[in-house]
């Protein structure tokens, strides 16, 4: 199940789609705007992140790079208190941006 804040599907261990869809959508929007202006757009770099609830109030972070040389990479960082705070801020920013909360 997705935690709604860039979390992980606990059953399957896959990153939540929203965490990656946001950066892909930004790339598409940049490309559309760039084609209107006649300039070159930055290609989608294939990166994203998700946070992993580790239990006992601990959070890890996975930085995914789908287009890394040699194939996709997804190192697990943490867990740490720093990622607990980062996950909370990440979620708060998106709730404010997407839902005006």
Instruction: Indicate the number of domains in the chain.
Output: 1
Give pTM, 2 decimals: 0.67
Q: Using one digit for the tens of pLDDT, what is the confidence trace for 41-66? A: 777 788 888 899 998 999 999 999 98
1 lies in some domain: no
5 lies in some domain: no
Mark 43-69 as b/e (b = at least 16 C-beta within 10 Å).
ebeeebbbbbbeeeeebbbbebbeeee
53 lies in some domain: yes
- pLDDT above 50 for 22: yes
Q: Which two tokens stand for residue 48?
A: 């994203």
3 lies in some domain: no
Query: Environment class of residue 23 by beta-carbon count within 10 Å: exposed (0-12), middle (13-18) or buried (19+)?
Result: middle
4 lies in some domain: no
Q: Using one digit for the tens of pLDDT, what is the confidence trace for 67-93? A: 899 999 999 999 999 999 999 998 898
7 lies in some domain: no
Q: Report, as an integer, the average pLDDT of 7-11.
A: 43
90 lies in some domain: yes
Q: Using one digit for the tens of pLDDT, what is the confidence trace for 32-45? A: 888 888 877 777 78
Strands 58-65 and 8-9: unpaired
Q: Which two tokens stand for residue 78?
A: 């943490």
Residue given tokens 């965490």 in the structure block = 19
Tell me which residue range forms the domain holding 80. Answer: 14-99
55 lies in some domain: yes
CA-based angle 56:89:20, to the nearest 5? 95
């Amino acid at each position: 199940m997705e935690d709604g804040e860039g979390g992980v599907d606990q059953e399957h261990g896959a990153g939540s789609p929203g965490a990656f869809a946001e950066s892909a959508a930004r790339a598409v929007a940049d490309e559309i705007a760039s084609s209107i202006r006649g300039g070159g757009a930055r290609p989608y770099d294939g990166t994203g992140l998700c946070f992993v609830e580790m239990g006992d109030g601990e959070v890890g972070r996975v930085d995914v790079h789908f287009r890394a040389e040699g194939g996709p990479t997804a190192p697990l960082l943490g867990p740490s208190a720093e990622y607990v705070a980062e996950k909370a801020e990440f979620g708060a920013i998106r709730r404010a941006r997407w839902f005006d909360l």
